[in-house]
Amino acid sequence: MSMFKIFTINPGSTSTKIALFEDETKVFSKNVNHAAEKLAQYPAISDQLEYRKETIDTLLKENNISLDGVTAFVGRGGGLLAMDGGTYEVDDLVLDHAVRGANGVQHPAMLGPQIAHEYARLYHAKAYVVNPPDVDELQDLARMTGIKGVYRTVHLHALNLKETAIRHAESMNKKYEDCNFIVCHIGGGISISAHRGGKMVDGYDIVGGEGPMAPTRCGSIAVSDILKYCRDKDLGEVKQLCTRSGGFVSHLGISDALEVSSRAKGGDPYAAMLWNTMIYQIEKCIGSMAAVLHGRIDGILLGGGMVYNEDLVSQIKDTCEWIAPVTAYPGEFEMEAMAAGTVRVLSGKEELKKYSGECKFKGFDF
């Protein structure tokens, strides 16, 4: 059986992660940090393309890594409109939407398809994205709200959530499509999702302020309280509470969950209340996803950087293990997930998807 060489690129807010795989075995990986003042020189995120690529080229040269013979280049998908989960080839439409941020969310992940395309062009290979952040597989009942014309959507850590579920299903000698899971990504942002039969049928819009409090995110708050809060504030400033200035940052001015946990353990009552409230809200959201799945759940899966914290995992197990077994997968599988999704397509185990360029959900017929 032929071996696939896969090069993955994951642009973040202040760093770019790269990794080279032979099939699903990682043979090289690096994370390069970017100075905030350097990135600030670029008016738009897509303007960073050449700088980020030059940084990657330098890193590869320093480590004597050649990209000759790479089968596929895979970038973290960003800027795209809502779609089903899966692996998509970077065609002209994907590239156009990534460059301009067609979904209206300006995030460094927009650079993923662009950088992958540049390398694929140079090395006569294919470029792909796998389970982009805008994966939307909501069931109809999860879409309606109490305001006419306003429908729910989700922004989640889809790449890591789905890979965690796929790996856990394999550990049970089952297919992801034959299982029901509650999957959580608990890091700087916190995603909690319900997976039924290979689809992420419900979850929270963590970009829009839904779900539990997180280190930099306010989480769900009553509309009336938000309206009262923003009476004398700039709306742009208030919106930052959803992704940057909420949660631990709003209360303590720090986003380091380890520090908050340490303060809590050391007897700081404010930090302890914040830490335990965040975990309490995670547990409530897990309970709501249990109802979505009608209590028929094969496992509750915890991924993300905060899952290294034993207290967090212990509390969630104590509260939620009556629902289903709780399994911890500390850290993230984002690079591995991009490689694995590509290998599944190249080996014929999964069908390659084509990006339509249209929002999956266009409203109901009534």
Which amino acid would we find at residue 156? L
Q: Which of 168, 169, 207 is nearest to 191 (CA)?
A: 207
Binned average pLDDT, 10 residues per bin, the chain of 366 residues = 89 91 96 87 94 95 96 95 96 97 89 98 97 94 95 92 96 98 95 98 94 96 96 93 94 95 98 98 98 98 97 98 98 94 96 94 89
- For residue range 56-93, list pLDDT tens digits in order: 999 999 999 999 999 999 999 999 999 999 999 999 99
Q: Which of 112, 141, 139 is nearest to 49 (CA)?
A: 112
- For residue range 257-293, list pLDDT tens digits in order: 999 999 999 999 999 999 999 999 999 999 999 999 9
- Long-range CB contacts (< 8 A, 24+ apart) of 265-272? 265/311
- Whether 102 and 93 have beta carbons less than 8 Å apart is answered as no
Q: Among positive and negative, which fits the CA dihedral 334, 26, 15, 309?
A: positive
Strands 199-203 and 190-196: antiparallel
- Asked whether the whole model's pTM tops 0.95, one would answer no
- Pick left, alpha or beta for residue 331 (phi over 0 → left; psi -120 to 50 → alpha; otherwise beta): left
- Whether 24 and 344 have beta carbons less than 8 Å apart is answered as no
Gap between the Cα atoms of 338 and 128, Å rounded = 9
Q: Which of 98, 95, 132 is nearest to 117 (CA)?
A: 95
- For residue range 349-360, list pLDDT tens digits in order: 999 999 999 998
